Amino acid sequence: MNAIVLFFISLFICALGIGPALWRLGNGLATRKVGIVGSADAYLSLKGTLIDSGLFWDKNVSQVPLDNFEKVKDFTVVLVDWGSCASSVEEIFGARKNQQTAIIIHAKPGEIPKEIMDDIANRPNTVVVNFRGRLLNDILTSLMTTSYEKK
């Protein structure tokens, strides 16, 4: 009898601990919008990575035009291709809706100068990623940890 009660108490405690994180992840994957800032080639390549993972729906991933960074406000996660947007990163940071909007910068290793890297490191909800596999992990983490208002 004690074992059964202990089992249900343990199950309840696990559900309370892991349940909210799974809820946020599911909600993030189903409803949140990912905007990709970059050239047409970079957009297609990065979008392909997200869609091919099976975690994101095509309708939730869109391109932000290079000539209209104000569209960044429409997204809760912004993926920036450093190779095609290096000179515009400051504008992209200024265009986000608020500090809760995650910005993930995809760059080749060593491509970002140290001074700019130091500046990026001091900004909230910003990630620099060098590898495609790591990119998916950082987007998932950003979906779970940003843009949630406390009740």
CA dist 146 and 28 (Å) reads 10
Q: Across residues 124-138, what is the average pLDDT? A: 89
What are the residues facing 1 on neighbouring strands?
none
pLDDT at 118: 93
**pLDDT for 139 beyond 80:** yes
Mean pLDDT of the 41-62 span: 90
More confident residue, 150 or 25: 25
Percent of the chain residues past pLDDT 90, beyond the cut: 38
* pLDDT (tens digit per residue) in 87-106: 999 999 988 888 888 999 99
Euclidean distance between CA atoms 63 and 50, whole angstroms: 13
